[in-house]
Structures are given as structure tokens and as C-alpha cells.
Structure 1
Amino acid sequence: MLFTEDLLHYIWKFRLFDRADLRTTSGDAIEVHSAGLHNTDSGPDFSNARIKIGDTMWAGNVELHLSSSDWKKHNHTADNAYNNVILHVVYRDDEPVSGTDGHAIPTLELNGRIPEELYSRYHKLVYGNQTVIPCESSIGKLDDFTLKTWFTRILIERLEKKSETVIKALELNRGDWEETFYQFLAANFGFKTNALPFELMAKSLPQNILAKHKNNALQIEALIFGQAGFLTDDLQDAYPRKLKTEYDFLGKKFSLTPVDNHLWKFMRMRPLNFPTVRLAQFAALVVNSNHLFSKILDIKEVKLLQKLFTDIRVNQYWDDHYQFDKPSKPASKNIGQSSANLLLLNTLSLFLFSYGKYNQQQYYIDRSLKLLESLPGEQNNIIADFDSLGVKAGSAFESQALLELKNYYCNYKKCLQCSVGNKILKQV
């Protein structure tokens, strides 16, 4: 049966071994008063442990290895950082170890002290033949408190990682939250498939240029469609030709270079998701929403935040078009409720969290989490898989947590770092 050093760390951390009559390999009695703090950086594995060996209470570090001979293999004998190790904990003792000055390091061997059922549960999780996640036969049976507590923790992990990208962009934008929000919102209007060209378009068209034309909807639309590369020379309809005339003048005035039109994707998309429709919606939002991020900081009600998107009306040309010069059956092209919810989830909640974290204001972090609790859960293959296992995502808070769980824990079988895995393993 395979045994890993991560499992050994887990067993020591939670003292999941037989502690009766503990002794060093040389016969001295051991009492573990504190296993220490787990160190995931360089240096000994656990710091600030308190352990009584014989008649002496020691305070210091603990190092763990599968075999005691790994001490020499890892060159700890010549490393002063390991001189303060008070106990060497190993699964199998195969040779004595010493510090740089030659003093013997007390060793505790755990082979024979670990419950067989713990081995079995661990191997079933990590090396089993599961099809969805390692704990698929058990996760649906866990109590709500364990799941909800863990969901909160990993959701915050997810938002913290994403907020790092926001803060880096903020620094590039010289601390301008409005400009940074505008760029991220544009990228999310691309809804993954066209996120990149949307982002490039926004970065090539700063908000200060759009602000100069905030009272002229046609010019705003011209700047956005022009920078997106859709205002070419062969346009036929009156509306896009007007846009082109405006853009030709404004593009020269502000020395603008449009993005490559070939970056935009139309294939295998529903017409309502065509980038031309999304650009029309984005232009309408820009026309109707000056200082949008400041408004979001002030608006607390979720319904009012949704209305910032659902209440805007695109140019009437799009009532019977999905693309320029291609008439279609009349259909509303305004932002629907589901699209608005995705924008709130992917942009607004992230920026409320990032703003709160950057300015050390818990109020905005709490608002971010409450916003996610108020939005419906996402529907995708990962969420459907969890649903089949009895774990349902009733809100975006839960669906985002499940995505983090699957992508950063389950996929890498980090069961020992997961509260769900911990709960299963401790049932021995």
C-alpha cells in the first residue's frame, strides 16, 4: 500500500496515531503537548511544537519523513536550519540522524501506530476509480455545517486569487478604479468566447475618450464599433454608414487603432450572443451609465444593481438585426436577466471584494458575499455533476465554491487539504 509524506504530515498534525506509551527509537518516553504549526515553506515541517521527551519539556521544530534516511538524502545534516529540530517523526526508522554539530536527533517511528482504516479511506480517496471527484460516494452524506463552512472558506480563496488580477490591473491604471472596472466589465461582456477582443477593445479606447462624447450616443456607438473593427468600407445600411463617418473622424482625432476584426468569434453561437449584439449592449450601457463603478459602490439592493443592466435599451437598429446589413426577424436585443446575473457574478461581486480588500474595508467584502448569495447558482457540467452526488448549488455563492472545490482541490486530489476529505478521513 502506497504511503505519502503528505499523509504523514496530516496524521501528525491531527494526531491520528496510537499515542499510548509513545517512545523514541532509543526508548525515551514522549508526550506530545503541541504538534506545532504546519510550515508549507522551506525549513522544518512543523514549528513551535511542545514535546516532553524523558523528563525534559522541549519547544522547537519537528521534521517528518517517510524514512529516517531521508534526513541525509535531503542534506539536513549540513543545514543549520534543522538544528532546532526537537523530534524527527518518521513512518519507518532505518538509520539514526544527527544535527550539524553531530548531536543525535530523537526519532519517533509511527509504523504500526496508524489505524488500518485510515490507510483504507485515504487510498480509496486518492487512488480509487471514481468518475467525478475522489469523495463522490461520501460528499452527499456530509452534514450541512461542514459543507457550508468549507464553501465559505474556498469561495474567499477564489475571490482572493481573482482579486490579485484586479489589483495588478489597478496598478497599471494608476489607481483608477473606474477605468479598471470598465476594462473588466468589457471582457465579461464577451462571455468567455469573445472576452479577449472585448478586453483589447476597451484597453484601446480609454474611458476619458468616451466621456468627452457622453451626450452623443451615436458617437459612443461609433467609437466602440469602430475600435472593435466592424466599421469597414463595404457597409450598406444607413446606420452603420453613419457610425463609420463618425469613427473615421474620431479615430483620426484621437489616433485610434482598432483591434483585429478576425479575433471576434461568431461560429457555433446563438445569434443573441453574437459579438455585434454584445457590443451594442455595451455601448448602450456606456451611454447610460457614467461613473458606473461609483454607482455600484453606493447601490446596495441587488434588484437595483440588476436594473443597471436590464433597463438599458440598445439602438433600435438592432431590433431587427444581429449583424450589420443582415436583416432578421424582430427580437429584443436588450440585456436579459440571466446575462445581467452573470455580469453581477463575474464583475460586480469581484470588484466589491477587491475594493474592500484593497482598502481594508470589510463592509464591501461582506456586500460581495451577500450579492453572490442573492444570485442564482450557475448551470454547467461541474455543477450538474455535484447535483448528481446530492450537493446542490442554490446560489452563486455555492456554485462558485463548488467550481473552486472541483478545479483546485478535487482535480489535484488535495483531499488532505480539504475539509470534506478531512471529515471523511477522521471517521475512523
Structure 2
Amino acid sequence: MRKDPFHLADDYARMLADPPSAVLESGVPYRSGFHWTERHLQCLWYDEHYRPPCFPLPGGETVRILHPGEWNLEAGPDFLNATLLVQPGDRWLHGDIEVHVHPTDWDAHGHQADPAYERVVAHVTWFAGPPPRSLPAHVLPLALAEPVASMPGLSLDDIDLKAYPHAALPATPRPCEARLKNDPDRARALLAAAGHYRLQLKAARLRARLAQTGDRHQLFYEEVMAALGYKHNQTPFRLLARLLPVASLGVSRETAYARLLGAARLLPQPEAAADPESERFIRTLWDLWWRESSAELPDGVTWRLHNLRPQNAPARRLAAAASLFSGMFT
């Protein structure tokens, strides 16, 4: 009798399902019947080759996905500005999409308390089930498992995760497609012209600012600071660069960091430190800052501090600025 080549699989599944498990990290539930990741579901939603053509709703309604939305690579809902059509009745929905494995993940992730999720119109999950307790009443619960199971030949194992979101585009028409799709030479010329146009505008802005300051070092500093602010904090970073000129950073790295954080009104309280070493460092920054008595950004300048990736946090970006510019032009 031929031995099952996977004869240990059932034993391992029982080990995973029998708490406490010695083979599974704490806090990571074993999801019987689902062997993929949330990213697989995001790809499935984004790509019409995999996405079910419609979703059934309780009461006999169906939902068609006219546009899956823009894949959000930052904090917040997984897809932005999607368009759905609920029938019968031709009810159009336009908003954001959040994707999870289980319906209860909405509660587990605390989305109900996050303003970034106020525009969500559909909660897409693999498993069906009762809507989460905190899911707003207007948000449609859409389950993927049953519609996907009805699509013969579709396997989530076939999804190339690395191709998304940039290598795979939704089939909805792209801007300018009608004019440029069949004319690659014209498309290349248009892109080149658009690039030149943007560079021309930027060069004109830089020339005007250089005429104001007369200081190319300061101009370079302001532009790098704005870039460090990323798109959400460009304005505060640029204003900070003008309030605290690069010439004032001809000091040690720690002093430069203290000046930047203090002027930005972002110096944390020592008591909030996670460990004694961090507390000592913050106290050192406060000691350096109090000696300066420098101006601060006005209260009307607001920082985006939430729904950012950790590497985009202003305090971390200001640490980079201190490393770059402390003593650079002295």
C-alpha cells in the first residue's frame, strides 16, 4: 500500500488547532480552511481576472464592482475611491474599501475609532459571518469565499503577489487611454513633454525663491526639508526650515535635533519614554532646547502625526534632517 506523501499534515493541523500550541506564535490564530494571506485577498479584489463579477447581499440584492478603487500604499483603508453598483434599484456607492480575512477583524483592528475609515462603503472578507459589532450600518459586508468557489479554475495560489499593485492594473479605462493606447510614439512624447513642463515649473519656483534669499544653501535645505515632510507634512517642514535657517544648525547633531524638535513643538515629555535610556536622551534634548530660547512654529501650523508609516513620522524625519545638516555648511 502506497504511503500518503503528506501523512504528517493532519497531525500538524491538529497541533495547530489544539491550544496551547507549541508550534504557533502567540496571538496568531490558526485559520482552518484559509491558507493564504490578506494580501492575496487584496490582489483578488483589485484584479478583475480574479474578482467575482458580483456579490450577493441579503434580501436578494447584488453588488457589481464598477471600479475596485486605488490601491492605498499608506495607512488607512486598503482601497480608495471605489465605485459599486447595488441592484435592483441602481444604487451607486462611491468610497473606500477595507479587506480582511474574517468579519471580526474590523473590530480587532479598531477601525471604528479611526477617522481614516469614515469613507468605507464595503468591508470585504474571505469568510462570511455576522457583521462586526462596530461596523457602520451603511457599510456593505461582502464575502469572497462563496463567489470565488463558484469560479472554476480559480486558485489564489496562482496570484503573483509581487505583481501588485504596479504591474497589474484594473481593467477600467485609464486616463488618456482612448487617445494614446494605439499611438506609443505620441504617448512617449506626451510623457516627456509633461516631465519637462513639471521641471520647468519647479525651476521657476526655485529661481524665485533664490532671488528672495540669495542663499543657495538655505534653498537646498528648504527643499530637502520639504521632501522629508513627505506629502502630509511638507508645509510644516518647509515653514520650520524658514524659521530655523540652515546656518543655525552649525552645531552638534544632538543640539540640531533638539532645536528642530523644539521649534516644531514636537519634543516629547521624558515621562512618556518607553525605557530609561530613551528618557535620558529626551531629557538631554530638553536641556539643549531650553538653552536656546528659539522661536517656535505658531499654533496654527498643524502636524499630521497619525495614520503614518513609522518611517514617515515627523520626529524620525527631523532626526534625519539633524544628521544631514548639522555642521554641513559651516
Q: TM-score under structure 2 normalisation? A: 0.42
Q: TM-score under structure 1 normalisation? A: 0.33
Q: Which has the higher contact order (CA 8 A, sep 6+)?
A: 1
Bigger Rg over Cα: 1
Structure with the largest fraction of helix = 1
